[in-house]
């Protein structure tokens, strides 16, 4: 055989290569061994290039020898590669495994404000009845806030000591004093019969104290249909009170609101027999003048409306004693309701 293709030396190299394969501990080690013997500049690769210069008989013998060496090397290499890769995969998974027995870092639990909780509770009640949820602007035209709701021009609520007016005065824009202003908008835009509720902020020129706030939230309910009566109004108020507070007695006391006739204050009995009556809502049958303002025939349709203070509901439902707690934004207060409904 030509001295360049030394089968004896290559046999020794093969044994050494097989030994190095067996001793390899990683994929990197294996690739290094493969490159050393069968890479582009490996011992066997370089030797194979000299086969073409051999005599015909030697060339055949050298080719068969090279093939046997490569087959044996590749077999050992692939077998070892599977073992090493399986081992590395296991080690990787083990290193990434999360030990569920270890203590974990607690992140503060988010919490909804009791006003949000009460609002969502009330919304859920009305949507369960199939009522729509309406919206109205917080900056309202005085016509929607007063005139269309049957407030006479000299009504005290129109005075600046009770209502926030926006400049210039000629714009007739106010911060709405009740969500009742949504009534007329819904009546004008919505087809009849109409059953709708809206929740939003309202604004009054009141000082902040334990029970009052210049900015608070109100829910307005409105139903307009043929043949509605006070008994329908009382039925809805009874159902809403039960939904919010559990089985409770209610009563309607005569009152006055410009936009309803007759008008009532709704009280709820807290604490059962021997408990106390607390005011929860203002309500009444929609005044014919309000229906006329929206282009609705009061001879054909009747309606009832009611307004409930969301802060009032939240204070009663969640045991809040002071309005300051609801408006001052102390997260320690809100955190108490992290598991609220």
Indicate whether this model's pTM tops 0.75.
no
Crossing angle of helices 56-96 and 7-23, in 10° steps, is 10
- Cβ atoms within 10 A of the Cβ of 233, count? 25
Helix (H, G, I), strand (E, B) or coil at 69: helix
Predicted local distance difference test score (pLDDT) of residue 306 = 96
Closest to 320 (Cα-Cα) out of 332, 312, 328: 312
pLDDT per residue, tens digit, the chain (341 aa), is: 444 567 788 888 888 888 888 888 898 888 988 888 888 888 888 888 877 778 777 878 888 888 888 888 889 889 988 998 999 898 888 888 777 776 766 766 667 888 999 999 999 999 999 999 988 899 999 898 898 888 877 777 777 657 888 888 778 899 998 898 888 888 888 789 999 999 999 998 888 888 888 899 999 999 999 999 999 999 999 999 999 998 888 999 999 999 999 999 999 998 766 678 999 999 999 999 999 999 999 999 999 999 999 999 998 888 888 888 888 877 777 777 765 45
CB atoms within 10 A of CB 262: 15
CA quadruple 26, 30, 35, 37: dihedral, nearest 10: 150
pLDDT of residue 338: 63
- What are the residue ranges of helices labelled H in 42-180? 43-48, 56-96, 114-128, 142-145
pLDDT of residue 155: 77
Please check whether residue 142 is in contact with residue 173, taking contact to mean a CB–CB distance below 8 angstroms. Answer: yes
- Locate 230 and state its tokens: 């006070």
Give residue 273's pLDDT.
65
Q: Tell me what pLDDT residue 108 has.
A: 66
Q: Tell me, what's the pLDDT at 54?
A: 80
Is the CB of residue 22 less than 8 Å from the CB of residue 80?
Answer: yes
278 and 268 in contact (C-beta within 8 Å)? yes
| Owner of token pair 């008008």 | 263
The whole-angstrom separation of Cα 253 and Cα 143 is 29
- Which residues 6+ apart lie within 8 Å of 114 measured at CB? 314, 317, 318, 320, 326, 334, 337, 340
Tokens of 338: 């992290």
Q: What is the pLDDT of residue 152?
A: 79
Which pLDDT score, from 0 to 100, does residue 3 have? 40
């Amino acid at each position: 055989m030509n001295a360049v293709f030394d089968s004896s030396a290559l046999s020794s190299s093969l044994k050494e290569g097989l030994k190095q394969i067996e001793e390899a501990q990683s994929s990197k080690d294996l690739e290094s061994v493969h490159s050393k013997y069968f890479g582009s500049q490996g011992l066997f690769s370089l030797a194979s290039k000299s086969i073409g210069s051999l005599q015909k008989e030697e060339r055949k013998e050298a080719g068969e020898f090279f093939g046997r060496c490569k087959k044996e090397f590749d077999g050992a290499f692939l077998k070892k590669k599977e073992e090493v890769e399986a081992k590395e995969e296991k080690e990787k998974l083990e290193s990434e495994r999360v030990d569920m027995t270890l203590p974990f870092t607690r992140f503060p639990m988010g919490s909804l404000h009791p006003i949000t909780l009460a609002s969502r509770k009330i919304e859920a009640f009305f949507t369960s009845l199939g009522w729509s949820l309406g919206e109205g602007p917080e900056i309202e035209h005085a016509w929607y806030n007063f005139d269309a709701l049957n407030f006479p021009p000299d009504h005290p609520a129109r005075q600046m000591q009770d209502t926030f007016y926006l400049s210039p005065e000629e714009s007739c824009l106010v911060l709405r004093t009740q969500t009742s202003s949504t009534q007329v908008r819904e009546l004008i835009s919505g087809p009849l019969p109409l059953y709708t509720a809206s929740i939003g902020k309202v604004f009054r020129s009141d000082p902040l104290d334990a029970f009052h706030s210049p900015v608070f939230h109100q829910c307005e309910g409105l139903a307009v249909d043929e043949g509605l009566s006070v008994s329908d109004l009382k039925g809805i108020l009874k159902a809403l009170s039960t939904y919010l507070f559990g089985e409770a007695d209610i009563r309607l006391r005569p009152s006055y609101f410009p936009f309803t006739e007759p008008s009532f204050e709704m009280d709820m009995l807290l604490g059962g027999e021997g408990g106390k009556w607390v005011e929860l809502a203002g309500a009444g049958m929609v005044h014919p003048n309000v229906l006329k303002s929206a282009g609705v025939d009061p001879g054909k349709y009747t309606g009832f409306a009611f307004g409930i203070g969301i802060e009032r509901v939240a204070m009663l439902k969640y045991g809040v004693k002071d309005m300051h707690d609801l408006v001052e934004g102390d997260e320690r207060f809100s955190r108490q309701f992290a598991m609220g409904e």
